[in-house]
Amino acid sequence: MTADDGIRVLGIEGTAWAASAAVYDSTTGSVDVETEAYVPESGGLHPREAAEHMATHLPTVVETVLERTRGERGSPAGDDGEEPDDSAAIDAVAFSRGPGLGPCLRLAGTSARALAQRLDVPLVGVNHMVAHLEVGRHFSGFEDPVCLNASGANAHVLGYRDGRYRVLGETMDTGVGNAIDKFTRHVGWSHPGGPKVERAAREGAYVDLPYVVKGMDFSFSGIMSAAKQSYDNGTPVEDVCCGLQETIFAMLTEVSERALSLSGSTELVLGGGVGQNDRLREMLASMCDQRGADFFAPEARFLRDNAGMIAVLGAKMYAAGETLPV
C-alpha cells in the first residue's frame, strides 16, 4: 500500500500552543484543518495553561473536522438521534508524539488513543519536527531536498536522501522563534513576537548585531542579549527589529546555501512557524535563484504548528505499516 491508495487520516497536533485536528484525504489531496490557538495573557507559553487549553479545545476541533467529513460524505451527524458512525470514513488516527510540552503531549496521546479505539482504526505516532519538514516536501514534490526548519523551539538544516533525513546543521542553543519571542518579551510585547518584529522591522534601519555561524551550526543567544542591550541603550525598537531579522535570517540562509552546496541538491524546502516571515522567504528565494536551485515554502497554515502536517506524515507512515498498539 502507498499513501496514494485512497487513505483518509485524522491527525491530532498537541505539542504546545495549537490544539489542532485535521483530515487528510490522499485521493483528493485535500487537508481540512481546524485549530484553536493558545495565546498567553502575559509572558511566554505556560505549560499548565497550554495543557488546560488542550483539554478544553482538542475534543471540539476533532469533532469539527469529523463533522465536516460526515458532511462531505452526505451523512450528517445524528440524523436519527444515533451516534454517527465515523469508522468507514477514517482509516487511521495520527498524533504528535513529541517533541513538545509534556502535559500537552499526554493529552494529545490520550485523545488519539481514545479516538483510534472508538473508530477501531490503527494509531500512528508522528514526530512533530519531521512533520514540519515532510509537509513541505510533500507539497513541493521535490525528491532529495535540503530542508530548513525555522520553528519556535527549534532550528535545523537537514538533507533528505534515500528516504532518510540527516541533520547537517542546527542551533547550538535556543530555537529561532523562541529567541525572537524572548526579545519581544523584553520590550513588553505580547506573545507571539515574530509577527510584531516583522511589522516593526519594515519601519526600521539596520543596526549591527553579532552574527554567529560555526561551520554548519548557528547560535541565537548572543544576538538576543545584544538586541536587548541595544534597545536598553536607546536604539529605536524598529531598528533593533530590522537588525535582528536581517542577521538571524542571513545566518539561516548562509547555512542553507552551504548545505545545498555540500549535498549537491538543487532543491530547498522551508518549514516551521518563523517561515511565515516574508523577509526570510525573500532571502531564501533570492539565494536559491542566484545558484539555480528551486525553493518551496508551503502555505502559512502548514508552516506554523497544525494537524494537517501530522495527518500528511501519518498517512505515509500508515501506508508503510508504522503503527502503534493503542
Give me the least distance between CB of 252 and ligand ATP, in Å please.
11
Closest to ligand ATP by CB, 267 or 305: 305
Residue 79 CB coordination number (10 Å)? 9
> Which residue, 122 or 308, has its beta carbon nearer to ligand ATP?
308
Element counts in the chain: helices (H) and strands (E) = 9, 12
Measured from the CB atom, the residue of 19 and 119 that comes closer to ligand ATP is 19
Tell me the residue ranges of DSSP E strands in the chain.
8-13, 18-25, 31-37, 92-98, 123-127, 146-150, 155-161, 164-170, 213-214, 217-218, 267-271, 294-296
**122 vs 175, beta carbon nearer ligand ATP:** 175
Closest approach, Cβ 272 to ligand ATP, in A, equals: 4
* Distance (Å, whole) CA 28 – CA 92: 17
Strands 92-98 and 31-37: unpaired
Q: Which residues pair with 324 in a beta bridge?
A: 123
CB 93 within 8 A of CB 120: no
Contacting positions for ligand ATP (CB under 6 A): 15-17, 100, 128, 132, 151-154, 175, 177-178, 180-181, 192-195, 198, 272-274, 276-277, 304-305
Task: Report the nearest approach of ligand ATP to the CB of residue 97 (Å).
Answer: 13
Residue at grid coordinates 532518510? 164
Smallest separation, CB 277 to ligand ATP (Å): 3
Q: In angstroms, give the least distance from the CB of 131 to ligand ATP.
A: 9
Compute the CA torsion angle 268, 143, 161, 215 (nearest 10 deg): -10
Rounded distance, CA 174 to CA 162, Å? Answer: 30
**Least distance from ligand ATP to the Cβ atom of residue 249, Å:** 9
Q: Which is nearer to ligand ATP, 104 or 124 (CB)?
A: 104
**Helix (H) / strand (E) containing 118:** helix 102-119
Nearer to ligand ATP, 53 or 304 (CB): 304
